[in-house]
Amino acid sequence: MSDEVAAYIAGFLDGDGSIMAQLVRRKDYKLGYQIRVSIVFYQKQSHNEILFWLKEQLKFGYIRNRNDGMTEYTIVGLSEVEQTLQLLHDKLRLKKSLAQDVLQLIKVHPKKMTPEKLLKLAKLVDKTAEFNYSKKRTNTSEVVIEFLKSKNLFPVETSIRQPADWDS
């Protein structure tokens, strides 16, 4: 991909996109929560051809029409989001620090999750959520703490350490 195309896509993400890290409640997970990272581009359905071009350029994700007349192009998953953010990071302006935080979260995401690691990641998710303005966000690190307590998986040590201290 040319620098010009990457810069255009980064500008589109800065203006009409979101970079998100979320805590998703999963009843089939022992620790009750999954960390989900995603990138979403938005456009009115009447102008959604640009989203198909974006998908052609980035090679990941899916496109869906919403009921409110908008279309979303969504990229989900640690590897896919990491590759996309690495490609666009240097060209982002408004969302550059958010992209750095999500890349950090991906970097420290362990292969084997423990209560301690989940809580540390949940706190990183909380930090990224400060950048986004979700009115409906209910899953926070505090909710994760309460869940872990209810399953007798708490107390866990709650300070956030650097990635070098983590065992994957």
Annotated catalytic residue within 15, 32, 77, 126: 15
Contact 53, 76 (CB under 8 A): no
Instruction: Tell me the two tokens of residue 45.
Output: 């359905």
Cα 105 → chain centroid: 9
Task: Give the HSE-up count for residue 51: Cα atoms under 13 Å, Cβ half-sphere.
Answer: 23
Question: Residue 88: which of 30, 4, 25 has the closest Cα?
Answer: 4
Helix (H, G, I), strand (E, B) or coil at 47: helix
Specify whether 15 is catalytic: yes
Annotated catalytic residue within 14, 16, 77, 126: 16
Instruction: Tell me the two tokens of residue 4.
Output: 């010009």
Spatial separation of the C-alpha atoms in residues 10 and 30, rounded to whole Å: 37
DSSP string, 134-148: -SS----HHHHHHHH
Specify whether 16 is catalytic: yes
Contacts of 89 (CB under 8 A, 6+ apart): 96, 99, 100, 103
Show which residues are catalytic: 15-16
